[in-house]
Amino acid sequence: MAASAQLALPSVRPRVGHKPRRRTVTSRATTATATKESAKSKESAYAKELEVATDAVRMASTLCQEVQGQLMRQDEQAVTKDDKSLVTLADYAAQAIISWRIQQEWPDFTMVGEEDAEALVSGGEGGAETLEKITALVNKTLRFHKGDAAPVLSTTELVTLIDKGKGSGGLGRHWVLDPVDGTLGFVRGDQYAIALALMEDGDLKVGAMGCPNMPKMGEVLEYDSSYTYGFSPRLVSKMLAGESLGWFKGCLFTAVKGEGAFMTPCDASLNVEPVPVQCSATFDPKTAKFCEPVMKANSSQGFTASVADNLAMTSKPLRVYSQVKYGSVARADADVFMKFPKAGYKEKIWDHAAGVIIVEEAGGKVTDAGGVPLNWAGGRYLDTLDRGIVATSAALHERLMDAVSQSWGSSQL
């Protein structure tokens, strides 16, 4: 959720051509009360990193919500990059503002990020105009969050900050960032995430993931073949009436290795202590859900359905854009996350790093389809990945691996 009512976004809109039933199903999110000491990680060796990551993701969430509102009003539009993926002002601006915040503490930091400023610098007048908009957006957000202490950044400084994401990764200490994960969901007014992680020698240490449109209580809309996050008609009516609803959406997940995973509002002004989240402790096939990407092009929905059938799961899948899916598993909205892309697809580390440490610290286990932990030290891509990625509770993981093996014998992606 944005840090101010002026920057807040309307509720998520149903996808075109799909008519959801007018009822909601409440998730089994774990929201036990956390002690102030554990929530703030006062004794953590990574307390400063967690503080900076949380602050950076909150600022990025604010500007992303503003841009998403502009997209919904058609004041702005996304453009298509050379690799056919979408990019918006928010992708560049979020990477810049997060880089700025990290740089305040560690001037020589390195980052593996999704974006770079090449198109802005070499894009002629169009690129220069876009860069001016990005600079204005970042400076506006800095003023909103930092007040009189906010700097006024130039376009040259913005280019340098965006290009901090050109790091090659590998061994050493690196931040990993997807400034707007799930850009298709973002431009459609749906779910997306700002996903930031810190790794050292291939070991994930800190994660912060802002999910500005994610319902606090995991409410979902039911479609003919799936569920997706949404809000009840009653809550939408209250939103449109301008009622003060407190924390009802906008979830920021944080994790430090060995210290658990927590959820707090994206909007810091709500002043809510972080609450711990945990993956499902038990598995009941009759009520369990699995989540997967929305688009068939991103993962084989037929194969994941086969795996779910082998687990005797009867529920429709929860289909969600972006790393919000990892948040769904971490707080037990779903028991399993599966992604099985087409053969030859190379997963990028920024598409998973933040979500993985959050699930693992919530008591879950994330591996490839062969049961091997993901290799973060191999550079910008997960080159050694076996077929796909699965995330679930540690207790269910072995059964899930068996189900994947059964399905793989009769189906090739």
392: which strand partners? 336, 365
284 catalytically annotated: no
Helices (H), 188-336: 233-240, 301-310, 324-330
* Whether 227 contacts 36, CB under 8 Å: no
SS3 313: coil
Other C-beta atoms lying within 10 Å of the C-beta of residue 135: 21
Beta-bridge partners for 265: 251
Quote the CA–CA distance of 249 and 252 in Å, as a whole number.
10
Residue 263 CB contacts under 8 Å (≥ 6 apart), including other chains: 31, 251, 252, 253, 254, 274, 275, 276, 277, 327, 331
Q: Is-catalytic flag, 183?
A: yes
d(CA 39, CA 409): 45
Find the catalytic residue in 55, 91, 181, 335.
91
Neighbouring C-beta atoms of residue 104, cutoff 10 Å:
11
What one-letter code names the amino acid at 403?
A
Q: How far apart are CA 383 and CA 345, in angstroms?
A: 10
Which of 136, 148, 354, 363 minimizes the C-alpha distance to 252?
354
For residue 268, the tally of other CB atoms under 10 A from its CB is 17
Task: Determine contact, residues 185/96, Cβ cutoff 8 Å.
Answer: no
Determine which one of 183, 304, 367, 392 is catalytic. Answer: 183
The span from the CA of 163 to the CA of 181, in Å, is 18
Spatial contact of 117 and 161, defined as CB atoms under 8 Å apart: no
| Bridge partner residues of 177 (DSSP) | 113, 196
- Token readout for 167 is 């790091």
Q: Give the SS3 label for residue 180.
A: strand
Name the residues annotated as catalytic.
91, 183
